[in-house]
Amino acid sequence: MKLKYFASLALGCLFVVTRVTGSVIENAQKKEKTTFQTSGPWKTATDVRADVAIVYGTSDRPGMTFEQRVQSWRERGYNVHFMTGIAWGGYQDYFTGKWDGVNHLGEGQVTAKGDTIWHGKMTPYLVPTASFIKYMNEKHIKRVIDAGIDAIYLEEPEFWARAGYSEAFKKEWKTYYGFDWRPQHESPENTYLSSKLKYHLYYRALNECFTYAKSYGKSKGMNVRCYVPTHSLVNYSSWQIVSPEASLASLPCVDGYIAQVWTGTSREPTFFNGVKKERVFENAFLEYGSMESMTAPTGRKIFFLTDPIEDWPRDWADYKKNYQATFTAQLLYPMIADYEVMPWPDRIYEGLYKTSANSSEKAKIPRFYSTQMQVMINTLNNMPLSDHKLTGSAGISVLMSNSLMFQRFPTHQGYEDPQLSNFYGQALPFLKRGVPVKTMHLENASYPDTWKDTKVLIMSYSNMKPLSPDAHGYIADWVSNGGVLVYCGRDMDPFQNVQEWWNTGNNHYKAASEHLFEKLNIKSSPDKNGEYKCGKGTVYIIRQDPKEFVLTAGSDKGFVDIVRRLYEQAAKAGTFVVKNNFYLERGVYDLISVMDEGISGKPYIQKGRLIDLFDPKLPVLYEKTVNPGEQAYLLNVDRVENQKKPQVLAAASRVYDEKIAENGYSFITKSPLNTTNVMRVLLPISPKKCTISDHEGNELKEAVWEWDNKSKTCFLSFENNPAGINVEFQW
């Protein structure tokens, strides 16, 4: 969550309006694979060269309207999309009453102490009332569509768990439930009811705003696409925020999501083996995974985001290390190939951050880091989808539900779930052993594709509850057809007793799991660990809350041993392989991550003709050693198709207008001003000459090029220019 900046993150989709003439909108379908978001106009220092520029906010600036801001990016060849916040934003005309004559500052989210939760000056986190939805539609969405933009992102539908005490919220409570508001801190049931209402309010807001956008767009002959940039369910649950998350994927008006995962979310400390600390790669892997599994069964599009820095001010070395971890994690999902390459390029290229952890000196992004970052993001323009699998024992999934967000704050009856350990206790014991554990969303249980790759499903109701009984039928059907279910939980948390479907009407279950066990033909709720047959499948009940597996050192061994046996013998899924690493072959790229705190301190060694994409010098290696706690991103030259064809393999710029002749190869390359380009170019033979000149034809005297005969590649380095640099080889 971008708490210190007036925005968060976003991404692009599939459109571009090239001309608006009266009411006639002419669309040109263009590539929309990579994108970035910006609140500013085009300028040479932030000409990122992704496919899409997402313009943030409709505000006019001194000397520049919103429409002129949009046009500044279109004129440079960008597809232009739009994004703004749905829970907060530069909506002072609404808050102060300028829009409709009514002061709306009282619609902020308020804590039990009476404090409004602010996102910025005069910018509260909102209770999304009907009047606010009307304001968003009439003041912002209409203007965006009138500007010829047909892709809209309403980001971060967030209601803080600690909020729920404002008069606006109390009114919404009475309307929704039909009885007077109840303070959420007084009972688990009140907390649960409060969370369900928060969930509903942003579900309603997005549904109504996006429905309006599509309808208004259609009236102008436009197909408006609507996306939700959002943190993962893992992160919102951890940070104690309520959001609609998975339920939005079933709305006809929602076309997809941006997975807002970056260092700031992924560095949230977790418990494992009794130790609480940051585990950025592991957390990012689970966050991206929860977003992928949330959308895949519904067919919605999703973009993965990374950020070379983060909201919190730190030093450049810290940013670099964690950027590599999150970047690797996103690429380990080969079924996703659309990306937001960065948010806020102005902040990245022109912001001042600490030069070292113990220094007060600040500086702009170092050239070595901007070069490395640009190499990385430009690989995303051609990143392929892949059917290659991540190494490890596949088929183990952890069940999630949106209700994970409902039990986080406040605590009741002394029941604690420190750092979301009831979730991490189910996942980290496997991830740390090199098992590519996945997540599954209870809300998607009705979709057949939800189940297709799962052999063993791990679940618990210690930290979430089923929002309806229907999902239990799908779980029981899956088990009876041969699935293996491992249920972990004491079922003693105070939320078991909230008035819900399992204990109202004709249902009299003491815990939600009792209804599930009945569906599985387990006649009574067992008090002890036990294994049961259900049709062709197997159920194993562990009477421990999953947090117990990670809060104390060595406590996960018995849990892992049970799952290992069931994986091999009951699920017949193959040998359960334990290791300390992950490897993925994805097109020409090799992705490697080595776990620390794992079963081994051994490094992972990769051999071949390898270009190190995390090294701004783009060296050609023939052996790469990756140590525990590290990641690697390599281009394997040996897998490049048609090795006789001249081609740019890696570059800190984007390549255009390639021309191949019998005795030469040329192209134009573009990237932001004040950055240094490096390139590694594959050629059939050693070039006799390499000419590097600017867009006016002036040769760049400081440019360098070096031929490496063993790899058949040429290394180039020179200063970037968004106007274009011409490169020509002759042989």
Give the tens place of pLDDT for each residue, 675-694.
999 999 999 999 999 999 99
Residues in the chain: 731
Count of structural domains within the chain: 4
Query: What is the per-residue pLDDT for 40?
Result: 96
Provide the pLDDT confidence category of residue 598 given band limits of 50, 70 and 90: confident
Cα–Cα distance measured from residue 438 to residue 267, given in angstroms and rounded to the nearest whole number: 20
205 falls within a domain: yes
Percentage of residues of the chain with pLDDT beyond 90: 94
Q: Which two tokens stand for residue 615?
A: 């090294």
Residues 174, 180 contacting (CB under 8 angstroms): yes
Q: What is the mean pLDDT of residues 159-169?
A: 98
Query: Has residue 6 been placed in a domain?
Result: no
Strand, coil or helix: 635: strand
In a domain, 398, yes or no: no
CB 402: neighbour CB atoms within 10 A? 26
Same domain, 230 and 248: yes
Answer yes or no: do 563 and 587 share one domain. Answer: no
Rounded to 5 degrees, what are φ and ψ at 304? -95, 135
Q: Which H/E stretch holds residue 569?
A: none
Is 8 domain-assigned?
Answer: no
Angle at 50 between CA 250 and CA 303, to 5 degrees: 20
Q: Are residues 428 and 345 in the same domain?
A: no
325 plus 246 within the same structural domain: yes
What is the average pLDDT value for the chain, to the nearest integer? 95
Model confidence at 596: pLDDT above 50? yes
Asked if 66 contacts 80 with a C-beta cutoff of 8 angstroms, the reply is no
pLDDT number for residue 9: 31
490 and 596 fall within a common domain: no
Quote the pLDDT of residue 14: 34
User: What are the tens digits of pLDDT across the range 182-193?
Assistant: 999 999 999 999
**Is residue 197 within 8 Å of 173, Cβ to Cβ?**
yes
Instruction: Please tell me the distance from the alpha carbon of residue 56 to that of residue 82, in angstroms, as a whole number.
Output: 6
Share of the chain above pLDDT 70, in %: 96
664: domain CATH number is: 2.60.420
The answer to whether residue 649 scores a pLDDT higher than 60 is yes
- Asked whether residue 22 carries a pLDDT value surpassing 60, the answer given is no
What local confidence, expressed as pLDDT, does residue 525 receive? 79
pLDDT of residue 172 exceeding 90, the answer is yes
Euclidean distance between CA atoms 728 and 301, whole angstroms:
39
The domain that contains 183 carries what CATH number? 3.20.20.80
- Residues in Cβ contact with 282 at an 8 Å cutoff, skipping those fewer than 6 apart: 270, 428, 431, 432, 595
- Domain of residue 62: give its range: 17-382
Q: Do 660 and 535 share a structural domain?
A: no
Give yes or no for a contact between 598 and 649, defined as CB atoms under 8 angstroms apart. Answer: no
- Using CB atoms within 10 A of its CB, is residue 375 exposed (0-12), middle (13-18) or buried (19+)? buried
Report if residue 392 sits inside a domain.
Answer: no
Residues 6+ apart with CB under 8 A from 578: 433, 434, 435, 599
How confident is the model over 446-459, as a mean pLDDT? 96
Mean pLDDT in residue range 44-62: 97
Whether 145 is in a domain gets the answer yes
Residue 255 falls inside a structural domain: yes
Question: Has this prediction a pTM greater than 0.85?
Answer: yes
Quote the pLDDT of residue 251.
92
Name the domain boundary from 570, 590, 625. 570
pLDDT of residue 325 exceeding 90, the answer is yes
Same domain? 590 vs 471: no
Residues 596 and 566 in one domain: no
pLDDT for 122: 87
- Report residue 29's pLDDT band, with 50, 70 and 90 as the boundaries: very low
Which pLDDT score is estimated for 423?
98
Question: What does 274-308 look like in DSSP terms, one character per residue?
Answer: TEEE--HHHHHHHHHHHHHHHHGGGT-EEEEE--S
What are the pLDDT digits (tens) for 463-478? 999 999 999 999 999 9
The phi and psi torsions of 246 (rounded to 5 degrees) equal -60, -30
| Overall average pLDDT of the 70-86 stretch | 98
Query: For residue 521, what pLDDT is reported?
Result: 95
pLDDT tens string 194-251: 999 999 999 999 999 999 999 999 999 999 999 999 999 999 999 999 999 989 988 9
CA separation for the pair 630, 321 (Å, rounded): 9
Calpha distance 558→546 (Å, rounded)? 12
Band of the pLDDT at 28, cuts 50, 70, 90? very low
- Give the Cα separation of 498 and 196 in Å (integer): 12
Tell whether 619 and 670 lie within a shared domain.
Answer: no
DSSP 217-247: HHHTT---EEEEEE--HHHHHHHTEE--GGG
Which one of 524, 544, 570 terminates a domain? 570
Q: Which two tokens stand for residue 515?
A: 């209804």
pLDDT at 635: 98
The pLDDT value given to residue 19: 32
pLDDT at 249: 86
Q: In the prediction, which pLDDT does 103 show? A: 95
d(CA 161, CA 242): 6
Structure token digits, residue 459: 């679940």
What backbone torsions phi and psi does residue 337 show, to the nearest 5 degrees?
A: -145, 25
Of 570, 602, 617, the residue that ends a domain is: 570
In a domain, 388, yes or no: no
Summarised one tens digit per residue, pLDDT across range 401-422 is 999 999 999 999 999 999 999 9
Q: For residue 7, name the pLDDT band (cuts at 50, 70, 90).
A: very low
Kindly state the average pLDDT of the residues 351-375: 97
H or E segment and range at residue 398: strand 396-400
**315 and 418 both lie in a single domain:** no
Would you place residue 16 in the very low, low, confident or very high pLDDT band (cuts 50, 70, 90)? very low
pLDDT at 458 over 80: yes
pLDDT at 628: 98
Q: Is there a single domain that holds both residue 346 and residue 374? A: yes
Note the pLDDT of residue 270.
98
pLDDT at position 524: 80
Question: Does 533 have pLDDT greater than 70?
Answer: yes
3-state secondary structure of 726: strand
Contact by Cβ (8 Å): 407, 570: no
pLDDT for 27 beyond 60: no
pLDDT bucket at 121, cuts 50 / 70 / 90: confident
pLDDT for res 339: 98
Contact status, residue 679 vs residue 652, Cβ threshold 8 Å:
yes
Q: Check whether 2 has a pLDDT greater than 80.
A: no
- Are residues 78 and 50 located together in one domain of the fold? yes
User: Alpha-carbon distance 396 to 36, whole Å?
Assistant: 34
- Which whole number is the average pLDDT over 693-712? 97
Q: What is the pLDDT of residues 256-297, one digit of tens each?
A: 999 999 999 999 999 999 999 999 999 999 999 999 999 999
Alpha-carbon distance of 470 to 438, in angstroms, equals 22
Q: Given its phi and psi angles, is residue 505 left (phi above 0), alpha (psi -120 to 50 degrees) or beta?
A: left
Which residues contact residue 188 at a Cβ distance below 8 angstroms, ignoring those fewer than 6 apart?
Answer: 412, 413, 494, 495, 497, 498
